[in-house]
Amino acid sequence: MAVYTDVTDEDLEGFAAQYDIADVVSFKGIAEGVENSNFLVQTDDGESYILTLYEKRVNPADLPWFLGLMRHLAGNGVTCPLPIPGRDGEALRTLAGRPAALFSFLKGLSPRRISANHCAGVGAALAQLHRAGAEYPATRPNALSVEAWRPLFALARDRADEVQPGLAAEIEADLADLERNWPTGLPKGVIHADLFPDNVFFRGEAVSGVIDFYFACADLYAYDLVIAMNAWCFEPDYAFNVTKARRLLAAYDAIRPLSPAEVAALPLLARGAAVRFLLTRLYDWLNTPAGALVRPKDPLEYLRIARFHRGLPGPGAYGLVA
């Protein structure tokens, strides 16, 4: 949670002048998003906008695809930030030396304490997102898919046991298993790939918006679903909440029905999703410099989640009614 780039008055003024918006009366860096710098912009007519400056983790070449996706989803019933074109028709421009874009503002609050109703809302929103995105070109490969995990692990392996003794061997065994058994032929398309509570807004217990599409890519729909299940259905003490999982999966299935092959693959996919976040967190944990503005997240949280899924007899454990 940080703002990485300072924007001067002149830069902001010059930027805002390129849009058909009212006078900027407030401009505040917001503690949201760990990859980019985000500012809440308020204008004299009472409108709010989000200004995003893309920092180094986002590949500028991907930005037209991301902005196009948000435009496509917003046009197909998904409430997500809509890139606002400037007077020249361009949504993507440069500010303070970085790619930058202005977005519509979404009302709503990210839930801090997750209820089963939140989970149902998220399941439905994700299914709608998958359906709405079906016509958008799924041309961006998943840079963090199963094939990417071993190379990523190689960067962290030598020091993994510093975090927990035996961790390297445990990940190694999981990777071998996941690579051998990863399903082929399941339905695939544009996925969000990072649908954590920070990225979903609610009004009351109804979803009011989905944000942060900068991991979106082409991959298995059911994989996106279990990323969300892992993020939403474990309690702070790491206990799996089967009621939440059942509500999330059922709400998804009601809008985009899961095939029997997808259901059968859920435990392996969920374990894979846990290993993917374990690996990126492990890498960040070992490579975040002292004094960084963002605290790395605990990788071991996802080790516990991987272990949970590893021990399951089948998808029934997620509360699915056969």
Subset of 83-122 contacting its own copies (CB under 8 A): 105, 107-109, 111-113
Site string for its own copies, 36-75 (x = CB under 8 A): ----x-x---x-x---------------------------
Nearer to its own copies, 204 or 313 (CB): 204
Nearer to its own copies, 48 or 164 (CB): 48
Q: Which residue has the tokens 């807004």?
A: 201
Could you give the CA distance from residue 102 to residue 49 in angstroms, rounded to a whole number? 7
Which position among 60, 292, 298, 314 is part of the footprint of its own copies (CB under 8 A)?
A: 292
Question: DSSP string spanning 244-297?
Answer: HHHHHHHHHHHHSPPPHHHHHHHHHHHHHHHHHHHHHHHHHHHHPPTT-SSPPP
Min dist CB 290 to its own copies, Å, is 4
Which position among 291, 313, 321, 322 is part of the footprint of its own copies (CB under 8 A)?
A: 291
Could you give the CA distance from residue 313 to residue 311 in angstroms, rounded to a whole number? 7
Min dist CB 278 to its own copies, Å, is 21
322 binds its own copies (CB under 8 A): no
- Cα R_g (the chain), whole angstroms: 20
Min dist CB 37 to its own copies, Å, is 9
CA nearest neighbour of 224 among 129, 90, 111, 319 = 129
Q: How many CB atoms lie within 10 A of CB 100?
A: 23
Host H or E run for residue 38: strand 37-43
Could you give the CA distance from residue 31 to residue 40 in angstroms, rounded to a whole number? 10
Min dist CB 8 to its own copies, Å, is 4
CB-hemisphere CA count at 13 Å for 302?
26
CA nearest neighbour of 280 among 153, 188, 126, 143 = 153
Give the amino acid at 174: D
- Binding footprint of its own copies, residue count (CB under 8 A): 35
Min dist CB 50 to its own copies, Å, is 10
Site string for its own copies, 1-40 (x = CB under 8 A): xxx--xxxxx-x-----------xxxxxxxxx-------x
Q: How many CB atoms lie within 10 A of CB 84?
A: 16
Min dist CB 150 to its own copies, Å, is 30
Question: Is 85:43 a contact under the CB 8 Å cutoff?
Answer: no
321 binds its own copies (CB under 8 A): no
Which position among 75, 203, 238, 298 is part of the footprint of its own copies (CB under 8 A)?
A: 203
Min dist CB 69 to its own copies, Å, is 23
Subset of 226-285 contacting its own copies (CB under 8 A): none
Could you give the CA distance from residue 179 to residue 24 in angstroms, rounded to a whole number? 51
Nearer to its own copies, 109 or 155 (CB): 109
Nearer to its own copies, 10 or 237 (CB): 10
293 binds its own copies (CB under 8 A): yes
Could you give the CA distance from residue 287 to residue 95 in angstroms, rounded to a whole number? 28
Nearer to its own copies, 112 or 180 (CB): 112
Nearer to its own copies, 22 or 176 (CB): 22
Binding stretches for its own copies (CB under 8 A): 1-3, 6-10, 12, 24-32, 40, 42, 46, 48, 105, 107-109, 111-113, 203, 290-293, 295
